[in-house]
Amino acid sequence: MAEYKWPDADKRTFIGKRISRIDGPQKVSGRAKYSFDINRPGMLFGKIVRSPYAHAKVKGIDTSAAERMPGVKALHVVSDVGTEIFWAGASVVAVAAVDEPTAEDAMRAIKVEYEVLPHLVIDTDVNNAGEYAKPANENKSGDPDKGFSEAEVTMEGNYGLPVITHCCLEPHGSVMEWDDNNVLAHLSTQAVSGSVAQIARPLEIPATNVRVQQDHIGGGFGSKFGPDEWDITAARLSKKAGGKPVKMFNERDAELMVAGARPSAYAHVKVGLKKDGTITAWESQSWATGGQGGGSSPPLPYIFNIPNQRKQHTALTNHIGSARAWRAPAHPQGCAITMTALEDAAAAIGMDPYDFFMKNIELTGQRANIYADELKIAADLIEWKKNWHARGDRTAGPIKRGLGLSIHTWAGGGHASDCDLTIQPDGSIELKMGTQDLGTGTRTALNIIVADTLGLPMNAVKITIGDSRFPASGGSGGSTTIGGISASSRRASLDALDQIFAKAAPSLDAKPEELEAVGGAIRVKGNPSKSLSWAQACSKLAATPITVRGKNPGPGKLTDQGVGGAQMADVSVDIETGIVRINKIVAVQDCGLIIDLKTAESQVYGALIMGVCWALYEEKIMDAKTGRMLNPNMEFYRLAGIADIGELVVHMMTGKGYDERGVIGLGEPPAVSPGAVISNAVANAIGVRVPYLPLTPDRVLAALEKKGGNNARI
């Protein structure tokens, strides 16, 4: 029996090294096929007529003109007469035609009548939301009245961040093919294995008749966990068109309107503290929205378990496209509100927030030492003690510079994951798994683990993923993929190696447990001269390949959960224009044993850049009167460009104390803090808090005009 653990540091060939992603050549050459790139023989193009109203009832639908158009092959009514519509952009009628221009013409020929109903799309005013506001009960811990009475200083402020949208570059959608009783789905999804049942159920066919394929996905970030209504609609159109494949992907405006919303969060916060920095109490009234389901309730206060709390949260339902998971759901909101309020609290007593965080670090619980270590390293990297100044840059001129900090956490862990590892008698190796590579480097991690375990070069192993016919592996969410897939592939590799050892042992005149796989050979430990090449050893399988099923969960401690990180930002603000520029952001992050340092660092860089986007630019701007999104495009739904991100520094906590924890997910934690660190740095630079993200020039100027801008209107 193999011992299920990770190799010691001195025995790792690829694990933890900087390895280039194995699908890099496919991606840089344009040969990587995304679901959006799939072209099938006889394929039709699907388009959707969408509601222009945020809240309405469908009164009439006339598709007769579209039906008569040459080239139109199928129509499907998604929201029939009488159906209530809850957001602008909701699907009403779908059409499939021989090409995109014909499908567009058909859309325009379809007439829909609506009875327009009252709507709410603005979420900043909870007091005037009426029936849409659903307050929860007050949540109390300790004795908040006593905590505030003991406080020498009480800081009060408003904080918040709006709904933002995922804006995946590959829009949501699929190529659906429903022929006879089988559905072939080329879906853009974060859950290849998990989408099968979600397609079968609404189509009322056995799940065994559904196959999901996806080689590459152009972004998900939490918004692509299964087929959407329009994917199911594409399948129905395919059936109506006699089984012809139908390509149905959102246009960019629809993608931003209906296919992704990170809930907003707003809060009025009170922090009680003593002049020495001791925090005595927390109070918050918060609200959040994310469409009909309301928003998630952010964890407040975030990480710091402040004694004596009083909290009340209100879920606000409104008429925008539904909320979807976004990288570390609820954490960025909880973090942005808490860490900015605590920074304001430190400013209220004239304390350096670094010292303030360190003074209260025990409130972070069992990971306090790690946070402290990470804050120290981050402070060195950004030269905190040299560059920090009390709130408000007093130097002359309009450009003010400031520093901000934050900490964050996330669970990670490893999801359920199965894989099949096949070793052929000629020595060739293939690992099959029904997982997906979101660009996080899943393929590469699998390749590293199998090659490292079998003592072979990377290119000796074939990794095949992205097909629901392979052993099922979990959806890529919650930063659970790397833990799940690395554990199951390690177990499969160790078990397969056991079988090879057993076959090779007689020829080497040794016992199987005396063998090791190193440098392309199976050899006797301590006697490298007694060895077989990998190919010679595999030839002992005679004619029959072996296939080993790897599983997670399983024996041995290969994964863990719970990570932390510290970030610090250095920004410059032009107080005449209100423009914020990032000078530098430092991220210090732990994630247990790192499989591929190169792609791990990329995850953190990417999280910081995504954070710059939502700290400075991103907002789903809704029009109160029409109920429509005003910026459903990429000119006015701005993302950071290559010049907007300053200098980014990533420091991964690795080695002793981290490696032995096993593999822990990384995609989400570093995406939590950027809003807080940038907001804190801006407050430090200009001397007042800009209460609401994104920190657009108008908000910065408004806060400056108000002075003490904490209560400035949005």
Partner 1 sequence: MQDDDNVKDKGSGLSRRTFLKASGISLSVPLVMGYRVIKVSGAEVKLYGPGKVPLTLSINGKSYNAQVEPRVTLLEALRNELDLTGAKRVCDRGTCGACTMIVDGKAVYSCSTLAIEAQGKSITTVEGLMQGDNLHPVQQAFIDNDAQQCGFCTPGFVVACKAFLDKNPNPTAEQIKKGLGGNTCRCGTYMGVRAAVAQAAQKGGRRNG
- Given the rule CB under 8 A, which residues bind partner 1? 20-21, 23-34, 36-37, 39, 45, 99-101, 108, 167-171, 216-219, 221, 251-252, 438-440, 598-599, 601-603, 605-610, 633-635, 639-643, 645, 648
Pick the closer one to partner 1 by CB: 167 or 700: 167
Q: Which residues pair with 402 in a beta bridge?
A: 571
Q: Find residue 629's DSSP bridge partners.
A: 622
Question: Vertex 102, ends 217 and 251: CA angle to 5°?
Answer: 30
Backbone angles phi, psi at 240, to 5 degrees: -65, -30
* Distance in angstroms (rounded) separating the CA atoms of residues 6 and 445: 14
Nearer to partner 1, 144 or 632 (CB): 632
CB atoms within 10 A of CB 24: 12
Closer CB to partner 1, residue 20 or residue 149?
Answer: 20
Residues contacting residue 223 through CB under 8 Å, at least 6 positions apart: 166, 168, 172, 259, 260, 324, 325, 326
Measured CA to CA in angstroms, residue 672 lies from 300, 457, 564 at distances of 14, 36, 10
| DSSP strands (E only) in 437-560 | 461-465, 515-518, 521-524, 527-533, 546-552
The one-character DSSP state at 7 is P
- Calpha distance 189→324 (Å, rounded): 14
Q: Based on CB atoms, which residue is closest to partner 1, 21 or 689?
A: 21
Residues 289 and 119 sit within 8 Å (Cβ to Cβ) = no
Coil, helix or strand for 511?
coil
Q: Are strands 139-141 and 84-85 parallel, antiparallel or unpaired?
A: unpaired
Residue 260 or 329 having the CB closest to partner 1? 260
Comparing CB distances to partner 1, the nearer of 33 and 389 is: 33
**Choice between 624 and 634, CB closer to partner 1:** 634
Q: What is the largest CA-CA distance in the chain?
A: 84
**And the tokens for 563?**
């990570």
260 phi/psi in degrees, rounded to 5: 175, 125
Phi (first) and psi of residue 25, to 5 degrees = -60, -35
- Give the nearer residue to partner 1 in terms of CB position, either 73 or 503: 73
Spatial distance between the Cα atoms of 387 and 229, rounded to a whole number of angstroms: 52
Backbone phi, psi, residue 484, to 5°: -65, -50
Angle subtended by helix axes 192-203 and 229-240, to nearest 10: 60
Residue 262 CB, nearest approach to partner 1 (Å): 14
Quick one: 171 or 404, whose CB is closer to partner 1? 171
Which CB atom, from 104 or from 430, has the smaller least distance to partner 1? Answer: 104
Number of residues assigned to the chain: 714
Distance CA 308, CA 414 (A): 34
| 107 vs 153 by CB, closer to partner 1 | 107
The distance of closest approach from Cβ of residue 82 to partner 1 in the complex, given in angstroms and rounded to an integer, is: 28
Whole-angstrom distance, CA of residue 155 vs CA of residue 145: 15
The Cα–Cα gap between 269 and 700 comes to 20
C-beta of 34 vs 148, nearer to partner 1: 34
Residue 294, SS3 per DSSP? coil
**At 289, is the secondary structure helix, strand, or coil?**
strand
Task: Using the minimum distance from each CB to partner 1, give the nearer residue, 452 or 601.
Answer: 601
